[in-house]
Structure 1
Amino acid sequence: MAGDSLTGSRIRERRLMLGLRQADLARDAGISASYLNLIEHNRRRIGGKLLVTLAQVLNVEPSLLTEGVEATLVASLREAAAEARTPMVELDRVDEFAGRFPGWAEVLAQTHGRIGALERTVRSLSDRLTHDPHLAASLHEVLSTAAAIRSTAGILAEPGELEAEWRDRFHKNLDQDAQRLADSSRALVRFLDESDQAGERRGIPQEEVEAFFTAREFHFPEIEKGSVEPRDVVKAAPELESTAARKLAEAGLQIYQEDAERMPLVALRAAIETHGLAPGKLAQALDVEIYRLLRRLAMVPQDVLGHPVGLVICDASGSILMRKPVAGFPLPRFGTSCPLWPLFTALSQPGGPIRRRIHQKGRAARDSECFAISWQAEQPGFDRDPVMRSVMLILPSEHPDQPPHADSRPVGASCRICVRRGCPARREPSILRDSSGARLMQM
């Protein structure tokens, strides 16, 4: 139902809010009660002088009766309905619902947003608890110190007298361990407090580099023009605090520079206009390697592609080296990604391009078109093994409310937060629950 056809519903809601009877409003507006009844049930369109008269009687601006709720609220309701995947939801009446019950619509939209934020927090905390080296080291220090104190205390608590020399030694060890436990506990608390501040904590070099690329939307016009060298861009970046992060960022920008020189933005834009977003044809037209093209496509402005894209690069161990998140395809911050991603399949097929439609399971499930390929980052020799890399370009579907395509293969983000049941590739139980409320504990 079009938004301008809901004027009658808004007139009715405003009348009821003011406690007016239909006959009274009709009389004051100079029309019959039966005609007003047709208007309020959206069976007669209204405009011009009559709309102005009704607005004056209801003490509102005419625009509030014709424009209704904002499009963002309706979009949020549609998104909530799509992610709920309830087949009986009347999507064709969402405008009417928002127009007649704007308060409840706002509550529903805010609740949907809050649930999404909580789920993102769960993913972040899950990744952090599992893989954050700083947190793991702090917890290990606390636990090992507590174990040492428990062992020493157990010896001192045993019956019988200890020699004075040994007793003093144990007491000294106990004091030192207790001091170490206090220091490590304070450091752990300070670490957790700092991570809860408004700004996102970036204590790991890879996180600093990711924040650096994200702040510039993965595009560096100054490098494209050749007016600035990567090292100069890195020196001026406030996100790069550590020496390791600056080295990683400079290495990444050098690759960016090489790809930009091989595929200038003007030539890439012309090729896309001719062949569309087809990596195979584009690589052939530009005479470049497919892996290089996939990297390049993720580093150009969205208006060039006409479609948001994501990117993941890993090494032969499966560790994520670079990630460009995209809506509709959650990417774990630290490794342990779903082993069914084409990114990892490509490692077992060196040099073989893979195009696959996959369906990421979860609350925001949707189809994605993925292009992946692995390549030798360094040529092997008789005295050294090849250094492999794998890259995957992600094109999420623009229609998240659509069911999975018949050819889509189900995958997850990572086992720890994956809701898929009976997956043969599962490495660990999920911390989430299925729709029946049972924990997903199968292996």
Structure 2
Amino acid sequence: MPKSALTGSRIREHRLMRGLKQADLARDIGISASYLNLIEHNRRRIGGKTLLALSEALKIDPSTLSQGAERAVVTELQDAAASDADIPVELDQIDDLVARFPGWAAKITAQHRRLRALEQTVGGLNDRLTHDPVLSERMHEVLSTVSAIRSTAAILVGTPDLGAEWQARFYSNIDTESRRLADSSAAMAAHLDNLSRKDTSTATPLEVVFSAFDARGHHLRELEEGGDPEAFAAKMSEIDSTAARTLAAEYFRTYSADAKAMPLEIFEPAAHEMKFDPAALAVRFGVPLEAVFRRLASLPRGATVPDIGLVSCDAAGALLVRKSPSGLALPWFGAGCPLWPLYAALSAPGVPIRRVIEGEDGARFTAMALAHPSGPLRFDRPPVYHSIMLLVAQDDATGEVAIPVGSSCRICARSDCDARREPTVLTHG
């Protein structure tokens, strides 16, 4: 069923919600009741003046009638179908599923979002465990102690005529190393227990801040309405350390400045008008390109807003801002994929870069990156740059050649990548 075929059903639904009779609505917009009946039963296509007249009479936006609020659900279902190509689905009937069984459609999309979030969590936890200095130290202690015990035991077994004095020394060594092994194992278990309970003491301030951003979809309504950044950071219960609150206030001040320079009620229509072109928007509002990147990523998600992600890093390549789009998980620890335009931009500060990239599951994005000064330029010290990359979901039918990328080497299964810096932990049996 084509997407436009459900327009009549939406018109009928909104007419009934407002308690209007079919004949009355038809008379108000200047068409016959029989013609409106055909429209409502999806037997006549509708557009132009008739659609505008109906939307005005029903006091609803024309796009809601033509596209429907369920477009986001349809997009999620298409994403769910693409994520597991081994199971064939009836893609041409997705609209019909949403229209006839909205509850089931919503439940499927919710489960798909949950699975996607879990996949990203697993990837992030794996990355965290790989780069956790405490865990690495404890594991090294355990392995070293086990090796010492094994070597001592091998000497005792392999030397049956060893004197009593030497046997006593070796037994004493085994006892000492065994106690050390028990202590190291207990410390490692305690650290893992803290991680499993999401103990905030094991999370960095940056993690805490962007967990708060993620929980709000990177759209902070309080700051959109002119709220104070410091007061907003202070009242957020999940930001419970001085370091995290200080960092949050810094990011919130930047968010507030962007919102004031590009008010949502003006910026969002302009973004649609300019097809989400950051360069054109930067000229329209007279702001730096990186500010437009941030503002686009802060737009509230809607049926007409593309899936947008954002990531930034410092000059050392350490990731700072993270907003993962569907189909490309962003790591919480270490560096990202070396092939991201984010890193290429650091070699040419001030020069915007645009590439089409493709994640491991086939999701394609227009990636736009720019390296910009992170502070004022001075003559007495070298400039410090940050790089920022905007990711906008792209239709794979554009025909553009895409660069295959991953999340990070540790959790990327691409076997033929020339940029790989370390083996993947993913194995294929």
TM-score normalised by the chain length of structure 2: 0.67
Q: Which residue of 1 aligns with 2:325?
A: 326
Q: Which residue of 2 aligns with 1:20?
A: none
Choose 1 or 2 for highest CA Rg.
1
**Residue identity opposite 2:325 in structure 1:** V
Q: Distance in 2 between matches of 1:117 and 1:264?
A: 30
- Structure 1 residues 404 and 187: alpha-carbon distance in aligned structure 2, compared to 1, 3 A threshold: farther
Counterpart secondary structure, 1:310: strand
Q: Does 1:417 align with 2:411?
A: yes
Counterpart secondary structure, 1:339: coil
- Structure 1 residues 379 and 161: alpha-carbon distance in aligned structure 2, compared to 1, 3 A threshold: farther
Q: Distance in 1 between matches of 2:347 and 2:386?
A: 11
Q: Which residue of 2 aligns with 1:229?
A: 229
Q: Distance in 1 between matches of 2:111 and 2:265?
A: 44
Counterpart secondary structure, 2:265: helix
1:189 Cα offset (Å): 1.7
- Structure 1 residues 305 and 109: alpha-carbon distance in aligned structure 2, compared to 1, 3 A threshold: closer
Work out whether residues 336 and 414 of structure 1, in 8 Å CA contact, stay in contact via their aligned partners in 2: yes
Work out whether residues 371 and 393 of structure 1, in 8 Å CA contact, stay in contact via their aligned partners in 2: yes
Q: Distance in 2 between matches of 1:182 and 1:153?
A: 17
Q: Which residue of 2 aligns with 1:385?
A: 382
Counterpart secondary structure, 2:202: coil
TM-score normalised by the chain length of structure 1: 0.65
**Residue identity opposite 2:369 in structure 1:** A
Q: Any stretches of 5+ residues in structure 1 without a counterpart?
A: 3-70, 98-107
Q: Does 1:375 align with 2:372?
A: yes
Work out whether residues 356 and 400 of structure 2, in 8 Å CA contact, stay in contact via their aligned partners in 1: no
**Residue identity opposite 1:139 in structure 2:** M
Counterpart secondary structure, 1:378: coil
1:18-417 mapped onto 2 (5 Å cutoff): 79=79, 81-85=81-85, 91-92=91-92, 119-120=119-120, 122-146=122-146, 178-197=178-197, 203-205=202-204, 206-230=206-230, 232-303=231-302, 306-362=305-361, 365-397=362-394, 402=396, 405-417=399-411
- Structure 1 residues 116 and 299: alpha-carbon distance in aligned structure 2, compared to 1, 3 A threshold: closer
Aligned positions, number: 358
Work out whether residues 372 and 386 of structure 2, in 8 Å CA contact, stay in contact via their aligned partners in 1: yes
Q: Distance in 2 between matches of 1:382 and 1:180?
A: 54
- Structure 1 residues 208 and 134: alpha-carbon distance in aligned structure 2, compared to 1, 3 A threshold: farther
Work out whether residues 224 and 257 of structure 1, in 8 Å CA contact, stay in contact via their aligned partners in 2: yes
Q: Distance in 1 between matches of 2:268 and 2:118?
A: 39
1:353 Cα offset (Å): 0.9
Once the two structures are superposed, what CA deviation does each residue of 1:137-179 show, in whole Å capped at 9, x if it has no partner? 4323434555666788899999977999xx89x9998766654
Work out whether residues 412 and 418 of structure 1, in 8 Å CA contact, stay in contact via their aligned partners in 2: yes
Q: Any stretches of 5+ residues in structure 2 without a counterpart?
A: 3-70, 98-107
1:404 Cα offset (Å): 7.6
- Structure 1 residues 423 and 258: alpha-carbon distance in aligned structure 2, compared to 1, 3 A threshold: same
Q: Distance in 1 between matches of 2:92 and 2:302?
A: 31
Counterpart secondary structure, 1:302: coil
Cα RMSD after superposing both structures: 4.5
Identity %: 41
- Structure 1 residues 173 and 404: alpha-carbon distance in aligned structure 2, compared to 1, 3 A threshold: farther
Q: Which residue of 2 aligns with 1:66?
A: none
